[in-house]
Structure 1
Amino acid sequence: MSTARPRRFDRGHTDDLMSFLAAGPSPYHAVAAAVERLEKAGFRQVEETDAWDAAAGGRYVVRGGALIAWFVPEGAGPATPYRIIGAHTDSPNLRVKPLPDTGAHGWRQIAVEIYGGTLLNTWLDRDLGLSGRLTLRDGSTKLVHIDRPLMRVPQLAVHLDRAVNSDGLKLDKQRHMTPLWGLGEVAEGDLIAFVAEEAGVPVEDVAGWDLMAHSVEPPAYLGRDRELLAGPRMDNLLSVHAATAALIAAAADSAEGAPLAAIPVLAAFDHEENGSQSDTGAEGPLLGNVLQRSVLARGGTFEDGARALAGSVCLSSDTGHAVHPNYAERHEPGHHPVPNGGPILKVNVNQRYATDGTGRAIFAAACERAGVPWQNFVSNNAMPCGTTIGPITAARHGITTVDIGVPILSMHSARELCGADDPAYLAEALTAFLES
């Protein structure tokens, strides 16, 4: 564990993260926000259906809520290895069902399905907006971001649940989590007609939708000295934002003459929160296809691709648990990560995380080069350990993979909490990793 201070720190990174969180209420918006930053840095989109060239420079592929971006430095050969930062764009939330219009007793409500392992109670009595995308009959998509109080999941009053404070809150996902959004008779097609109007498209052109609720409360600094950051979707847009910044920084340094021994890659997947099994998830073929096609575009062979992967390393960056002062007994007693103590190295010998001793050395070297402090994380033996895209990436691609992240509180809440310095620490460590 290192206690070094960073070689530079700029609260501007955290300010930009706050803007990124606010602009990314859905995976599709998060990808769009990352793409905006990449294009300003000179990256260009390539379509999966087109042939790719071997020119140096930055490129990216978008597929729905997933983004793969990479920078090919001058002189990169077919077997040049990759330095990959893996993250995910999705967060636990409430997602609109195929037949969304419902209600009873004079209330108009929206039928939702629970996505991922969300803390249900954090969605109660919270002003919610609606975001996502509409798919039109011509196959195009239209992003939707209704960022005003539109819905609410009201909690039952204490007068009607006298034991709630003694016996605990008990929520039924089907009966108790249906948001209300108005009064009157339920009309089929009402919600989608409203969303189409908000998006500026004719409702008859809408053929499908992927819509979800989000809290409209903006991210904010918290605490007497503003040393904490509260906001939505830090798991895992904090990592997506840091990785995007690191990739742009590495590309800029390379353009200024700094040599890159590997090809830096950002892999931001969708659907991590429900198992990664999709065409845009880490268990799908998207990353492998992009890496192999990059090899072939540079005149390489299958053997060159295998050599490139054998020399590659992936940092799987996801949030982890900071020690909770009210529940310290739930944590491993010898490992208590704290906010603003730097990113964490996540270890689980049962391969819920992919880190091994080699990975520890790689991460420690990157943090040392960046002048960034870092911490160790391991779960209490009596508590189940979560997992990430790390083990999936290692197993699918045969790449040395290291699980890292930023320690937070309230993971999977509608609003999470981290140290305000840690996002910049993470970005600097990731930049050093890409440039090493």
Structure 2
Amino acid sequence: MSNLTGHKPKYPSSANLYSPSAPSLEPTQAETVKWSSGVEISDMAATNEAKSKSNSVVDDLLQFLNASPTAFHAVDEAKKRLRSVGYEQVSEREDWKLEAGKKYFFTRNHSTIVAFAIGKKYVAGNGFHIVGAHTDSPCLKLKPVSKVTKGGYLEVGVQTYGGGLWHTWFDRDLTVAGRVIIKEQKNGSVSYIHRLVRVEDPIMRIPTLAIHLDRGADGFKVNTQSHLLPVLATSIKGELNKVVTKNDVQDNGETTESKSSPNNSKHHSLLLQLLANQLGCEPDDICDFELQACDMQPSLVGGAQKEFIFSGRLDNLCMSFCSLKALIDSTSSQTSLEHETGVRMVALFDHEEVGSNSAQGAGSPAMLNALSRITNSFSSDFSLIEKAIQRSFLVSADMAHALHPNYMDKHEENHQPKLHGGLVIKSNANQRYATNAITSFIFRELAVNHNIPVQDFVVRNDMACGSTIGPILASGVGIRTVDVGAPQLSMHSIREMCATDDVDHSYEHFKAYYEEFSNLDQKITVDM
């Protein structure tokens, strides 16, 4: 983003205060004269066009983030976007009849999604050009028995998911979202359906303890078992609004005829009623659910120069969005796949934050299964999958740690990624990241060809290094892999931040990768 220091501020209306496209600054008098004189109009037009395009990508990201409070919602949003541009859904339970030049996707558990576009010149044994990311983020998930009553309060039992900065969850306006299994009765038959739910009101809060009651505390130490329970209501109000069930007695002494549900003893009836109201069903129709607490504050553009994105779940929905949009846009025109010899793919996995060891995580056979089924759809020679893997390439995209101005000693001196500096190539000698010289060169060369900035990161020797889906897929599938990510601050907080420029850089880098990897890979003569 341009340096606008010294510009006279323009105060937007409150309605446009957080709009990423709302103008917030005016040009100086000198610049106004220069513009009106017509000098460098072409350069100015190019700059404005780039800004407009960047704002479009950022606006789109904000819509994606605000539509995706959970991994289930993120996958559902991805499905909508893919379907709208002609991607066809296939099921892993059925046979696949694929065609070159066509676009497809499938899901697992409604929380993992894999989309792919097959080049018109693809033949079995050719490579796959993949960007992999993850849909999950650290959060508080409701326990199987969430009903907690103590001290005159109705509280909701939650369990921690992933390595969250749990102190950031206090004093936030919270709601619940996730998936629900609902029983439906039609024409005398019973069926069970998966539904997404998101209560639109702030219904919970985790209050902090007043400093007057904890003056001796050395910092804010959270006991995740006893301190993290959200307050849903007071017991008195909860009883007044209690849902009447089969075992409840009405004022006239008669029992109701509604069907009993085991959920009544596991969850507060008030919570079940809120879910039922949102879903348009009865509380007793709710068979089970996977819900999590969610922050009500929307994702938005902020900062004095409108250069930051303030949001939850940037790790890793930002990379999920940028890779998904890059795939869609690189395959949107009628001729985009005309000369493509490979398969362009995005794979967004669940459960990265807890190790990826699940049926829908990167540690599952999902990736290998997808590569095998696509290859075998075009040939009965099952040995071609091994050739295809060696011709393939994976970009493991997971957000990176930007240099923190208040904790600069936490970064290695020569590896200090900055906001606005482009995607970060992550390296680790102990294979916490899967990057090597060949894979980093390929990804860096794409940046050079398009004048896109790129950065490097290694963790300090005296600090532990995190990891990604990169090493898991590299070792499990045998595919060439580079680990990258956009720089951000406040990782794993309920409210994170990154730079708007880096969203645009990431999108452009991934799009260039999809469109040009086939040609670039042919120029590499090193035996892989």
Is TM-score (shorter-chain normalized) higher than 0.5?
yes
Aligned residue for 1:29? 73
Distance 2:467 2:480 in 1: 16
Distance 1:176 1:257 in 2: 54
Q: Partner letter of residue 19 of structure 1?
A: Q
Q: Does the 8 Å contact 1:317/1:404 carry over to 2?
A: yes
Q: Which has the larger radius of gyration?
A: 2
1:180 aligns with 2:231: yes
Deviation, structure 1 residue 75? 2.3
Deviates more, 1:363-372 or 1:75-84: 363-372
Query: What is the aligned length?
Result: 430
Q: Does the 8 Å contact 1:92/1:115 carry over to 2?
A: yes
Q: Does the 8 Å contact 2:363/2:473 carry over to 1?
A: yes
Unaligned runs of 5+ in 1: none
1:252 aligns with 2:332: yes
Distance 2:127 2:498 in 1: 33
Deviation, structure 1 residue 252? 2.0
RMSD: 1.7
Distance 2:169 2:200 in 1: 16
1:125 aligns with 2:171: yes
Q: Partner letter of residue 386 of structure 1?
A: G
Q: Does the 8 Å contact 2:134/2:348 carry over to 1?
A: yes
1:226 aligns with 2:226: no
Aligned residue for 2:522? none
SS at match of 1:366: helix
Q: Does the 8 Å contact 2:121/2:338 carry over to 1?
A: no
Distance 1:60 1:126 in 2: 36
Aligned residue for 1:304? 384
Distance 2:62 2:448 in 1: 27
1:49 aligns with 2:100: no
1:58 aligns with 2:138: no
SS at match of 1:380: coil
Distance 1:340 1:35 in 2: 30
1:151 aligns with 2:204: yes
Q: 1:30-62: CA deviations, max 9, x gaps?
A: 001111111111101011111111313110001
User: Could you say which structure has the greater relative contact order, defined with CA pairs below 8 angstroms and 6 or more residues apart?
Assistant: 1
1:365 aligns with 2:416: no
Deviation, structure 1 residue 181? 1.1
Distance 1:428 1:368 in 2: 12
Q: Partner letter of residue 50 of structure 1?
A: E
1:91 aligns with 2:137: yes
Q: Does the 8 Å contact 1:73/1:254 carry over to 2?
A: no
Distance 2:329 2:448 in 1: 18
1:14 aligns with 2:58: yes
Distance 2:467 2:346 in 1: 20
Deviation, structure 1 residue 17? 0.5
Deviation, structure 1 residue 136? 2.8
SS at match of 1:12: helix
Deviation, structure 1 residue 298? 1.4
Query: Aligned pair in 2 of structure 1 residues 39, 255: CA closer, same or farther (>3 Å)?
Result: farther
Aligned residue for 1:328? 408
Q: 1:122-142: CA deviations, max 9, x gaps?
A: 100000111000023434200
Q: 1:264-320: CA deviations, max 9, x gaps?
A: 111000000000000110000111111111111112422111111111000000001
Q: Partner letter of residue 149 of structure 1?
A: P
Q: 1:386-434: CA deviations, max 9, x gaps?
A: 0000000000000001100101000000110001111111011111111
Equivalent positions of 1:361-400 (< 5 A) are 361-400=441-480
1:282 aligns with 2:362: yes
Deviation, structure 1 residue 333? 1.3
Distance 1:196 1:369 in 2: 54
Distance 2:326 2:510 in 1: 6
SS at match of 1:268: strand
1:67 aligns with 2:113: yes
SS at match of 1:404: strand
Q: 1:207-232: CA deviations, max 9, x gaps?
A: 22110011110112121111111101
Query: Aligned pair in 2 of structure 1 residues 254, 372: CA closer, same or farther (>3 Å)?
Result: farther
Unaligned runs of 5+ in 2: 1-45, 184-190, 239-263, 518-528
Query: Aligned pair in 2 of structure 1 residues 157, 226: CA closer, same or farther (>3 Å)?
Result: same
Equivalent positions of 1:254-273 (< 5 A) are 255-256=335-336, 259-273=339-353
Deviation, structure 1 residue 254? 6.3
